[in-house]
Structure 1
Amino acid sequence: MTSIQQPIKATLVKRSLTKSKNRTQSLAQHFGYDSLINSNNDLSLAKRLFNSQQLQYQREQHNIEKIFKLTYDECKNETTTEPDPDWLVRFIEMAKQVHSPSMQKLWARTLKKELTRPGTTSLKTLTILITMTQRETLLFQRIISVCCQIGKNNDKK
């Protein structure tokens, strides 16, 4: 390595460390876990716990409201039936955890499909879906898009 490359590498490492500290602090603040980082121990542990839980509840509320709004926007007044109440409760509990806009759109399409054609999405499918990242979901969609059906055989190839 030349003497010119060494300072550049050291500078990149230093920037990376600074960015990771800033990112960690930002994430901790977003989730309400930044008290020790910011030396802000004015509040009791119980009060800090309450505050972080309130932030979490607000994020969950925002997430599920966004998914219902996206579902509403997706609907074109198709005929629907009442979804299975147990399915709907579990869907809502899982959907509250969906933060990214593209994943929220996927969950909205899933809800719309269940409203228009009940029983099309199993709870097991939702359980798998909630464990997938956005990247994994996109990859899975690409894999599914190359599946085909031959003749009257319902098995996908």
Structure 2
Amino acid sequence: MDKDKAELAPNTESNLVTSSSAKPSNITTETKTAESASSFTSQKQLLALARQYVLDGALIPEDKQMPLEERVVKRERLSRLRQQQNLESIIKRSLTYCPNSTSTTKADPDWFNRFTSLAEDISNNTMQDLWAKILAGEITHPGSFSLKSLTVFKSMSITDAKLLAKVCGIAVKDSSKKNIRIISGAYNTPGIFSFFSKTTQQRVNLNQCGLSYTEILSLADNHLIFMQEAESNELQKGEKMVFNFNGKNLTLMAKRNQCGLSFYKFTPVGSELALLISDHPNKDLIPLLESSLQSHFSVISS
């Protein structure tokens, strides 16, 4: 087993960085040195990964190569060892998120079996921590995470997870905290005296909160939000819509009749996965809503 652990240990060559204490005499030399170092490092990283995953057989002289059949067996064995290590790490992390209290409901063994098959290849520490939260949440409250959500999450990269965290920072919830939305604008249905008004619709420039339209498309591609914007019911002057934003009430009160909000809605999968994200509200949201919706709504945070 010690040999197996040694084989599983990350190859230190992948962490090598070429450096020099002597400064180049000119910018051209510096550029060439940087390009050479970058190329050298990329090759070293590829070689290290090939060795780690037993895929470097063709790079070794034929007279020193391990037989192909043996390489296949070795790669399969190391793959299963990595998967075991990953799952044990996730289980260990998950225990820290499980409350030490009696539960009246039992976790579904079939769900757990499916969980392990999806999580066994997760080696990134950050992603392992999120998978651990999923497991703890499901064990504590069975039914919190559907198998569909697990399948979607399996396909997400660390970049996708960071994007989900970003969008959660500007999202609002209803009183049940189940419906999650991103307010994208406001509208006013024109009456007979306001038909030609230029302020019948206002948009919230989400770029000012760091969320680009390209990222909105990415969220939709990952089935985390609906691409088609939805609209609220129309409110009369003085009527309010109350949301939860980072544990505080966010109240939008209509300034005129027949005002409504437009927003991007989280999908059921997105709403489930949003449970993994700690509240880190974007402080730019409230001022942005105040300036963007001022013709239609008063924005009150309490």
TM-score of the aligned structures, taking structure 2 as reference length: 0.48
In the other structure, the counterpart of 1:75 is 98
Q: 2:172 aligns with which of 145, 148, 152?
A: 148
Q: 2:155 aligns with which of 131, 138, 148?
A: 131
The alpha-carbon deviation at position 151 of structure 1 amounts to 5.0
Q: 1:34 aligns with which of 41, 56, 65?
A: 56
Alpha-carbon distance in structure 2 between the residues aligned to 1:153 and 1:134: 25
For 1:10-29, list aligned pairs within 5 A. 10-29=32-51
SS of corresponding position for 2:58: coil
SS of corresponding position for 1:143: helix
Tell whether 2:65 aligns with 1:47: no
The alpha-carbon deviation at position 154 of structure 1 amounts to 5.2
- Tell me which protein shows more helix as a share of its residues: 1
Alpha-carbon distance in structure 2 between the residues aligned to 1:130 and 1:102: 13
Q: 1:114 aligns with which of 111, 132, 138?
A: 138
SS of corresponding position for 1:74: coil
| Identity of matched residues, % | 28
CA contact (8 A) 1:75 1:112 kept: yes
CA contact (8 A) 2:98 2:140 kept: no
Alpha-carbon distance in structure 1 between the residues aligned to 2:179 and 2:99: 31
- What is the one-letter code of the residue matched to 2:97? E
Deviations 1:110-145, CA, capped at 9 Å, x for gaps: 101101100110111111111111121021022123
The alpha-carbon deviation at position 152 of structure 1 amounts to 6.4
Shift in alpha-carbon separation, 1:90–1:52, aligned structure 2, 3 A? same
SS of corresponding position for 1:109: helix
Shift in alpha-carbon separation, 1:152–1:62, aligned structure 2, 3 A? closer
Deviates more, 1:34-43 or 1:133-142: 34-43
| Unmatched runs of 5 consecutive residues or more in structure 2 | 1-24, 182-302
| Superposition CA RMSD, Å | 2.0
Larger Rg over CA atoms: 2
SS of corresponding position for 2:46: helix
TM-score of the aligned structures, taking structure 1 as reference length: 0.88
The alpha-carbon deviation at position 34 of structure 1 amounts to 1.4
Alpha-carbon distance in structure 2 between the residues aligned to 1:94 and 1:50: 23
- Tell me which protein shows more strand as a share of its residues: 2
CA contact (8 A) 1:70 1:108 kept: yes
Alpha-carbon distance in structure 2 between the residues aligned to 1:102 and 1:124: 21
- What is the one-letter code of the residue matched to 1:47? E
Deviates more, 1:136-145 or 1:119-128: 136-145
Alpha-carbon distance in structure 2 between the residues aligned to 1:151 and 1:18: 55
CA contact (8 A) 1:71 1:112 kept: yes
Deviations 1:31-81, CA, capped at 9 Å, x for gaps: 111122243643111100111111111100000000111112322313333
Shift in alpha-carbon separation, 1:82–1:154, aligned structure 2, 3 A? closer
| Unmatched runs of 5 consecutive residues or more in structure 1 | none
Number of residues of Structure 1 aligned to a counterpart in Structure 2: 155
Q: 1:99 aligns with which of 103, 123, 126?
A: 123
The alpha-carbon deviation at position 4 of structure 1 amounts to 3.5
Deviates more, 1:8-17 or 1:57-66: 8-17
